Structure formats: C-alpha cells, structure tokens
Amino acid sequence: MKEVVLDTETTGISVKEGHRIVEIGCIELDNLVPTKNKFHCYLNPERKVSEKAFEVHGYSDDFLSKQKKFQNVVEEFLKFIDGKKIVIHNAEFDIGHLNNELSLIKKGKISSANVIDTLEIARNKYPGSGNSLDALCKRFRVDNSRREKHTALIDCELLSKVYINLIDQKEP
C-alpha cells in the first residue's frame, strides 16, 4: 500500500486572510517504508510572508519571489499524490491551504477521505498530552535535532517515523 507523507509551509495561518503556500514536501511510503520518490518545491506565493511565518520557516520574500508559482507545479504534484493515502500532521491546515491553491487555479479539491491526520490519531491515543510533531518525536525517541526551522521535507521525514509509531508498527 502506497502512502504520501505531506507537509506545507505557508506565508501565514489563514487562507481567509489571503495566506499562501511557500513550500510543499512529500515523501512516498510503500508499506510504511520510505521509497526514493519525493516531491519537493518552493513556491512564489505572490505576497509577503508574515513575520510569524518567517520565524517558523525562515524563507524570505526575496528567496520566494524567484520560485515557481503553484500553477507551474500543480500537475506534477497531483500526479505524485494520485491514488495514494495522504498522511499529514494537522491535515485541516495543510488541506485547507492546498485546496485554496487549487481553487485559485480552478482545479478540483483534494478529498479529506484520502487523508490520514496524525494529529487526530495522536489526540485520540494520548488525550491531554502534547501532540505537536516535536512532542511526538520526543515521545517516540525520534531524533529531531536537524529541525532548527520548520521545513517541509524534514518535517515529512520526522512524521513518517512518528506515523509508524502512532499506528503501532515498528520503524523499518
């Protein structure tokens, strides 16, 4: 069974305030084992990054202004995730942003039926505990020392290890 661990970074929290995606990272899993197949891109959000978002990921307006726009990578992205379950930590956030980007270019939305939300799994499994990606890394002894800033691919790598532990599988 193939799955895709997915993460995005954005210009800010709310799509209602016009915030956009600046990075998409995906790692393919085959029976919970990461394959060599990855999808990664930085995006020109065509707007300024909020101060808070910059503190989280560190991508400057100057750097992002030189990147491709979502419409230039959408076909490759959709092909990468097609037919696979999508594993996301806090899926509502990432899917909300992805579906906003898709609607801006008149494309169909990603169905939440194809999404596994690891935050939801963690909240059900460990109610009242910290369930951030960092907290779950600590709980499962996943080394997150490379995570100085939030970056989509590093977060996907960490989440793939956390996910295996969350669903009670041993890490390969």
Q: What does DSSP say about strands 115-117 and 85-88: parallel, antiparallel, or unpaired?
A: parallel
Q: What does DSSP say about strands 115-117 and 21-30: parallel, antiparallel, or unpaired?
A: unpaired
Residue 150 to residue 33: CA distance in whole angstroms: 23
- Give counts: helices (H), strands (E), the chain: 7, 5
Helix axes 70-81, 91-104, angle to 10 degrees: 130
- Residues marked as catalytic: 150
Residue 21 contacts by C-beta under 8 Å, 6 or more apart in sequence? Answer: 8, 9, 10, 11, 43, 45, 70, 97, 98, 101
Residue 140, judged by CB atoms within 10 A of its CB (0-12, 13-18, 19+), counts as middle
69 backbone dihedrals φ, ψ, rounded to 5°:
-90, 160
